[in-house]
């Protein structure tokens, strides 16, 4: 599974990426690829991913993300503040997995 | 408090979001931001040319003239580059040929720029002074081209003609019209007011805008907006910088040009680095002192955990673990110092620079550079690093009573659980 995390500059979400990777290893998940990118790069890179997670601090851009996601037929979710703040890799990973299962 | 927060969520946030997402503002921002690599490179050369350590000055002195070529080709052309890149971004949002639009805008920009006496392109208008000119010219030329494309007033090639050839013909009529119009307006202004478009824009738009934007009240308002947006969990800096960034970059470039000319007291106090390096030191809200307070004085387990998670990123000015983890977001107690602290820091920094106790920032450096070092590098003055530490202590003092209160509340909750 390929997960894309999006925030303003891709800096703070990269913290969460590391935690999610560790959690993935712990669960023995194969073929897990997670990366953080800046929102401005979303349209360029979205094709490479199965699901997009949006940092809560740029949820004012949710519509923009939703439009691109719909166009590209990808699932997306806004990461809840608590998960984001505590840099909770397990819950963020669950969020991505559920999003892929449930679809758009 | 609940009502206030829901007001922010439902009214303030969507409006701020819409302003930041406005098509032309966004194109200007993206276009100006694309000059950033040039600014970073130019700054590096400036720091080398005018080293902050006096002993090194004599060492680089023989090379300064040669190095200034790089400064001219980076800082000296950001207006010119922006005339290209803003048009490129804006054309992208209309889904019209981006490269053609950008090339035309660049050409239109050069039509308006006054030449030197022997017919050369002068660096006077290609740098920061041309930045506002570039914004206006690129928007006007792209809008003209869009009108023509929408009305279908373009030359269509028969099928079988290679796309790149067809594209260049399609750009012909819109391109010709937009260049002609810019030229005509420029000539008219010259004949009537004896001002070229750049001089006119500078007089009527840029200088008044800069006179307002460069004041302490304007900066305080900007900082207040940033903190208020973050208080509801929205990236306030991204939005406010999206609106004011081009202006702040123009101020920064003026300072860099003055520094390159050997001046020591620089023209602008407020610029991009004032905001990024001093006001936003350790993240929006100057939160590193808060992190240390949690780490070393909090009794609540949760706050200690947040302090541990936030320390590393905080050193590099990333503070989402604090804003969302403590949390400050939607937390009526913590929002107060989160807004008051940065306003104090802004005021202190402004007066330290206005009274020339601390040098003013000119070098563009990455915003992730740690506090202390970042102030020193961007100004070339060690006292700027000290100023950041003073700001850090002031913010810490503002946070102290509030985090104590919150810690007690959290501790009670943990005991009950």
C-alpha B396 chain-centroid distance = 26
Under a CB-based contact definition with an 8 Å cutoff, are residues B344 and B336 in contact?
no
Report the SS3 class of residue A49: coil
Residues B125 and B133: beta-carbon distance below 8 Å: yes
**pLDDT score at B25:** 86
Q: Given CB atoms, is A87 within the 8 Å cutoff of chain B?
A: yes
Size of interface A-B (CB pairs under 8 A): 71
- pLDDT of B132 reads 87
Q: Is B233 within 8 Å of B291 (Cβ atoms)?
A: no
Query: CA B356, CA B350: separation in Å to the nearest integer?
Result: 10
CA distance A38 to chain B (A): 11
pLDDT (0 to 100) of residue B276: 95
pLDDT of residue B2: 66
Task: Give Cα B47 to chain centroid, integer Å.
Answer: 20
> B396: exposed, middle or buried (C-beta count within 10 Å: 0-12, 13-18, 19+)?
buried
Assess contact for B328 and B354: CB atoms under 8 A: no
CA distance A5 to A42: 9
Domain ranges of chain B: 34-212, 216-416
Query: DSSP secondary structure string, B155-220?
Result: PPPPTTS-HHHHHHHHTHHHHHHHHHHHHHHHHHHHHHHS--HHHHHIIIIIHHHHHHHTSHHHHH
DSSP B294: H
CA-CA distance, B349 to B274, in Å (whole number)? 8
Rounded Cα–Cα distance for residues B25 and B95 (Å) = 17
In which element (H, E) is residue A53 found?
Answer: strand A51-54
Determine contact: A91 vs chain B, CB below 8 A: no
Distance from chain centroid for Cα A79: 8
CB within 8 Å: B320 and A64: no
Full residue range of the structural domain in which residue A20 is found = 2-102
Per the CB < 8 Å rule, is B327 touching A61? no
Residue B63 pLDDT = 85
pLDDT in tens, A37-62: 988 889 889 999 999 999 988 888 88
Strand order in the sheet with A51-54: A33-38, A2-7, A51-54, A75-78
Query: Cβ contact (<8 Å) for B306 and A87?
Result: no
Could you give the C-alpha distances from B125 to A45, B35, B76, B130, B137, in angstroms and in order? 37, 16, 9, 5, 13
Torsion from C-alpha of B188, B190, B193, B198, nearest 10 degrees: 100
Residue with tokens 């840029």: B206
**pLDDT of amino acid A88:** 86
Element (H, E) at B104: helix B98-112
Cα(B141)–Cα(B179) distance, integer angstroms: 8
Give the count of alpha carbons within 13 A of B153, CB side only.
11
Distance between CA atoms of A14 and A37, rounded to whole angstroms?
8
Q: How far apart are CA A18 and CA B206, in angstroms?
A: 45
Q: Is the pLDDT of residue A104 over 70?
A: no
pLDDT at res. B404: 94
- Intervals of chain B under pLDDT 70: 1-2, 5
Q: Quick check: helix, strand or coil at residue B113?
A: coil
Residues belonging to chain B: 417
Q: Which of A7, A40, A85 sits opposite B321 (nearest CB)?
A: A85
Q: If we measure between CA atoms, which residue out of B284, B282, B287, B278 comes closest to residue B226?
A: B284
Binary contact (B321, A87; C-beta < 8 A): yes
State how far the alpha carbon of B222 is from the alpha carbons of A9, A81, B15, B179, in Å.
Answer: 20, 24, 15, 37
> Which pLDDT score is estimated for B101?
92
> Are the C-beta atoms of residues A12 and B320 closer than 8 Å to each other?
yes
User: Looking at residue B123, what is its pLDDT?
Assistant: 85
What would the pLDDT profile of B89-119 be if each residue is shown by its tens digit? 999 988 888 998 999 999 999 999 888 888 8
The closest CB to that of A57, out of B306, B309, B320, belongs to B320
Mean pLDDT of chain B: 89
ipTM of the complex, rounded to two decimals: 0.71
Query: How much is the pLDDT for B162?
Result: 80
For an interface test with B, the pick among A6, A9, A12, A92 (most B C-beta atoms closer than 10 Å) comes out as A12
Domain count, chain A: 1
- What is the C-alpha end-to-end distance of chain B, expressed in Å? 26
Closest A-chain CA to B33: A40
Which helix (H) or strand (E) segment holds residue A7: the answer is strand A2-7
CATH code for the domain in which residue A33 is found = 3.40.50.2300
The residue with greater pLDDT, A9 or B271, is B271
Please count the CA atoms within 13 angstroms of the CA of A19 that sit on its side-chain side: 20
Angle of helix B236-260 relative to helix B36-49, nearest 10 degrees, comes to 40
**Distance, CA of B227 to CA of B268 (rounded, Å):** 24
| Pick from B24, B30, B39, B89: nearest CA to A38 | B30
- Mean per-residue pLDDT for A65-90? 88
Q: How confident is the model at residue A93 (pLDDT cuts 50, 70, 90)?
A: very high
Alpha carbon B174 to its chain centroid, in Å, reads 32
How many whole angstroms separate alpha carbon B360 and alpha carbon B363?
A: 10
Indicate which residues of A carry an active-site annotation.
7
């Amino acid at each position: 599974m390929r997960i894309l995390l999006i925030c303003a500059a891709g800096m703070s979400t990269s913290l969460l990426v590391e935690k999610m990777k560790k959690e993935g290893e712990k669960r023995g998940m194969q073929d897990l690829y997670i990366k953080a990118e800046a929102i401005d790069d979303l349209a360029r890179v979205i094709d490479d991913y199965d699901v997009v997670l949006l940092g809560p601090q740029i949820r004012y851009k949710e519509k923009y993300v939703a439009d691109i996601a719909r166009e590209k037929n990808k699932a997306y979710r806004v990461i809840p503040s608590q998960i984001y703040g505590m840099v909770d890799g397990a819950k963020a990973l669950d969020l991505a997995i559920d999003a892929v299962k449930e679809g758009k | 408090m609940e009502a206030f927060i829901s007001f922010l969520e439902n009214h303030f946030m969507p409006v701020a979001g819409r302003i930041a997402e406005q098509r032309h503002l966004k194109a200007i921002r993206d276009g100006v931001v694309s000059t950033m690599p040039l600014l970073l490179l130019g700054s590096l050369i400036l720091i080398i040319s005018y080293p902050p350590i006096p002993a090194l000055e004599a060492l680089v002195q023989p090379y300064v003239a040669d190095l200034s070529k790089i400064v001219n080709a980076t800082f000296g052309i950001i207006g010119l580059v922006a005339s290209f890149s803003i048009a490129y971004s804006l054309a992208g949002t209309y889904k019209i040929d981006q490269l053609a639009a950008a090339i035309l805008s660049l050409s239109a920009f050069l039509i308006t720029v006054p030449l030197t006496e022997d017919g050369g392109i002068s660096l006077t208008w290609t740098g920061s002074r041309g930045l506002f000119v570039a914004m206006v010219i690129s928007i006007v030329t792209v809008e003209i081209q869009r009108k023509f494309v929408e009305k279908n007033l373009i030359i269509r090639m028969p099928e079988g003609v290679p796309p790149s050839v067809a594209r260049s013909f399609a750009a012909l009529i819109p391109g010709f019209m937009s260049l002609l119009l810019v030229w005509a307006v420029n000539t008219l202004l010259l004949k009537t007011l004896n001002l070229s478009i750049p001089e006119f824009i500078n007089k009527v738009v840029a200088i008044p805008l800069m006179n307002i934007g460069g004041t302490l009240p304007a900066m305080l308002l900007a900082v207040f907006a940033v903190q208020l947006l973050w208080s509801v969990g929205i990236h306030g800096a991204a939005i406010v910088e999206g609106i004011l960034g081009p202006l702040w970059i123009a101020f920064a470039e003026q300072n860099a040009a003055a520094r390159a000319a050997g001046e020591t007291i620089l023209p602008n106090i407020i610029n991009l680095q004032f905001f990024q390096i001093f006001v936003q030191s350790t993240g929006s809200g100057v939160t590193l002192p808060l992190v240390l307070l949690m780490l070393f004085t909090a009794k609540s387990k949760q706050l200690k955990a947040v302090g541990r998670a936030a320390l590393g990123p905080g050193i590099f000015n990333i503070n989402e673990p604090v804003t969302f983890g403590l949390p400050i977001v939607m937390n009526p107690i913590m929002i107060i110092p989160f807004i008051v602290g940065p306003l104090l820091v802004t005021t202190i920094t402004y007066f330290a620079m206005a009274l020339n106790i601390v040098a003013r920032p000119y070098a563009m450096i990455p915003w992730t550079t740690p506090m202390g070092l970042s102030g020193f590098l961007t100004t070339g003055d060690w006292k700027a690093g000290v100023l950041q530490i003073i700001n850090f202590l002031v913010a810490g003092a503002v946070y102290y009573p509030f985090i104590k209160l919150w810690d007690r509340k959290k501790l009670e909750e943990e005991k009950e659980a």
